[in-house]
Structure 1
Amino acid sequence: MPTSASNPGRDDQQEPHRPQQQPHRHRQVAESFGVDAPRYDRARPRYPDELVRMIIDAGQHVEGRAPRVLDVGCGTGIAARQFQAAGCEVLGVEPDARMARFARSSGVDVEVVTFEDWEPAGRTFDVVFAATAWHWVDPVVGPGKAARVLRRGGVLVVFSHVFELPGELAESFAASYRRVAPDGPFAVDRASGRSAVRMYLAGYAKVAGDIRRAGGFAEPKQSRFDWRREFTRAQWLDVAPTTGVLTHLSASARARVLDDLGAAIDAMGGGFTMSSTTLALTAIRTESS
């Protein structure tokens, strides 16, 4: 779902856009997604059903009750509703009141607060996950707090989509963004020659290191789910404004980038096929702390 290549998180819808500094320090970007919560919920892709089932099975919940799930940075509740549909009891934690309001309207229980400041009040969970949101969490605080609220045998899961835009479209986007926001918080660059998936895998390796240092977890394991999707011009121009690379821009600057993207898609025949991967990192809570 425009995020740090070394920090998987909420805003990774394009390839590769790297915040100049640690993403969790860019609160103004992290809390910019609610500018158009209905569009965000409508346009953002859902997560593979196989991933949802894998996470629930890994959580080893107590027989006879629904799995208890904590969604860190739940946004509008996209992933939360998928877990609810699979029979889970879900609590969301979301710092943006606009996103939380939308999630509540769709049936998700949400507490408006950052994960770092959230008070569990003795509650424990079978699953703690962050769906395209973990990079907004302090990497020192996050894993330790997840360990404290997970029951033994529960699972921490960090997952996100990684989209590989066709080369000509990615290049058009990068050039347009550099023109309108040369001093923006994201380094938009196609020159590295590295695929988005490779960059995100490096990011997940860093998250795994954070989890190891926190203690209380078995060795983190990576999973991936590959898929493809066709986008029309209108569909992609609905997705693009929901990314942090664009939400922090002024309306006029955002419109210029979208005009350039639209022209690039028109030049490709009015649509394109995008290869996508959903990456996941899972770590089981152990008895040790």
Structure 2
Amino acid sequence: MAESFGADAELYDRARPRYPTDLIEAIAASAPGVAVLDVGCGTGIVARQFQAVGGRVLGVEVDERMAAFARATGVEVEVSAFESWEPAGRTFDVLVAGMTWHWIDPSVGAAKAAEVLGPGGRFAVFWYVLQPPPELGAAFAAVHREVLPDSPVNSQVAASPLGAYEHFLDRAADSLTATGAFTDLERPTYPWTCHYTRDEWLDQLRTSGLAKPLADAGKLDKMLKLTGAAIDAAGGSFTLDSTAVALTATRT
């Protein structure tokens, strides 16, 4: 699934939210230098945000289609799975991963992070949590239950998504701790607000990890139709008052 997002790299880059400026600036300010390794850089969304605050970014991306898009926007990218990527002796001041660290084998990823970060280097992985208004979130949950009746986790995520990310944070923290190479583990959160029209939300849904299995099962069109109808019933647009969650740590 991690290699499915490049099917429409332009849509992915256009539809995916950007990360809160406060998050990007805080990570950059805490790093001992400007050399940034962006794991799973995709189309370069995170990389460009770090470039904007002075970062010198190298991306690692498993999908050549996504990497090609990122290169066209000015991001240097090497194509590889992070677990098998060869750093060739290079070290970095900060390792970041936006919405991608859950695709990385936790123990291998943590060990490689320890390898490529210099002393005092910063580890920072983060996810944005899309939290629709309560009534619309309940409507989205009802859509998920109708389209995916045998998947209770998906309906719970649609209604209350924040808890779904705790597993990612726990797993990443446990793997870092197991290396014995990191200290100062913290879980900062950053509020952010974004307004969505109906079509913008459906485009975002088309780029989600759920889209490919839905399409493979012949259910994506139904999900989009019912979700669009729920947004229409709510006035055709809505505002997300959401949260970005992170795990940060320092290389000893």
2:213 matched to 1:248? yes
Alignment-mate amino acid for residue 152 of structure 1: P
1:215 paired with 2:180, answer yes
Q: Is residue 2:190 matched to residue 1:225?
A: yes
Contact 1:59 1:154 in 2 (8 A): yes
Cα shift at 1:85 = 1.5
Distance in 2 separating the partners of 1:42 and 1:148: 33
Query: Equivalent residue for 1:45?
Result: 17
**Residue 158 of structure 1 pairs with residue 129 of structure 2:** no
State yes or no: 1:267 paired with 2:239. Answer: no
C-alpha separation between the residues in 2 aligned to 1:191 and 1:60? 37
Partner residue of 2:224?
Answer: 258
- Once the two structures are superposed, residues 81-108 of structure 1 have per-residue CA deviations (whole angstroms, 9 ceiling, x without a partner) of 1111111111101111111111111111
- What is the match of residue 8 of structure 1? none
| Structure 1 residue aligned with 2:51 | 84
Distance change (3 Å), C-alpha of 1:256 and 1:192: closer
Shift of 1:178: 4.8
Q: State the AA in 2 paired with 1:228.
A: T
How far, CA to CA, are the matches of 1:181 and 1:30 in structure 2?
A: 21
Amino acid at match of 1:258: L
Q: Which runs of 5+ in 2 are unaligned?
A: none
Instruction: Confirm or deny that 1:120 pairs with 2:92.
Output: no
Q: Equivalences for 1:1-289 in 2 at 5 Å?
A: 29-61=1-33, 67-181=34-148, 187-190=153-156, 195-250=160-215, 252-286=218-252
The alpha-carbon deviation at position 181 of structure 1 amounts to 5.0
For these two proteins, the number of residue pairs brought into alignment is 251
Residue by residue over 1:211-244, the C-alpha shift from the partner in whole angstroms, topping out at 9 and shown as x without a partner, is 1012211131111111222211122112111101
Write the distance in 1 (CA, Å) between the matches of 2:18 and 2:142: 29
- Tell me the SS of whatever aligns to 1:30: coil
Task: Give the AA of the match of 1:46.
Answer: R
Conserved 8 A contact 2:106-2:171: no
Partner amino acid, structure 1, of 2:209: G
- Would the aligned equivalents of 2:193 and 2:240 in 1 still touch at CA under 8 Å? yes
Change (3 A) 1:183 1:38: farther
Q: 3-state SS of the aligned residue for 2:82?
A: coil
The answer (yes or no) to whether the contact 1:170–1:190 under 8 Å persists in 2 is no
* Cα pair 2:190 2:243 within 8 Å, conserved: yes
> Which of the two has greater helix per residue?
2
How far did 1:166 drift? Answer: 3.0
Q: Distance in 2 between matches of 1:53 and 1:210?
A: 25
Residues 243, 57 of structure 1: alpha-carbon distance in 2 compared, 3 angstrom cutoff: same
Structure 1 residues not aligned, in runs of 5+: 1-28, 62-66
Contact 1:173–1:257 (Cα < 8 Å) also in 2? no
How far apart, CA to CA, are the structure 2 residues paired with 1:248 and 1:75? Answer: 19
1:116 Cα deviation from its structure 2 partner: 0.2
Report the Cα distance in structure 1 between the residues aligned to 2:14 and 2:107, rounded to whole angstroms: 33
Report the 3-state secondary structure (helix = DSSP H, G, I; strand = E; otherwise coil) of the residue aligned with 2:153. Answer: strand
Paired residues of 1:163 and 1:277 also in contact (CA < 8 A): yes
More divergent stretch after superposition (97-106 vs 203-212): 203-212
Q: CA deviation at 1:274?
A: 1.5
Is the contact between residue 9 and residue 69 of structure 2 (CA under 8 Å) also seen in structure 1? yes
For residues 53-111 of structure 1, the C-alpha deviation after alignment (integer angstroms, 9 at most, x for no partner) is 111121112xxxxx111000001000001111111111101111111111111111111
Q: Is the 8 A contact 2:61 2:67 kept in 1?
A: yes
Residues in 2 aligned to 1:81 and 1:134: alpha-carbon distance in whole angstroms: 18
Shift in Å, 1:167? 3.8
Partner secondary structure for residue 110 of structure 2 = helix
Normalised TM-score (structure 1): 0.80
- Separation of aligned partners in 1, 2:240 and 2:10: 23
Comparing both chains, which one has the higher relative contact order based on Cα–Cα distances under 8 Å and sequence gaps of 6 or more? Answer: 1
Alpha-carbon separation, structure 1, partners of 2:209 and 2:244: 19
For 1:283, the aligned partner's letter is A
Q: CA deviation at 1:30?
A: 1.1
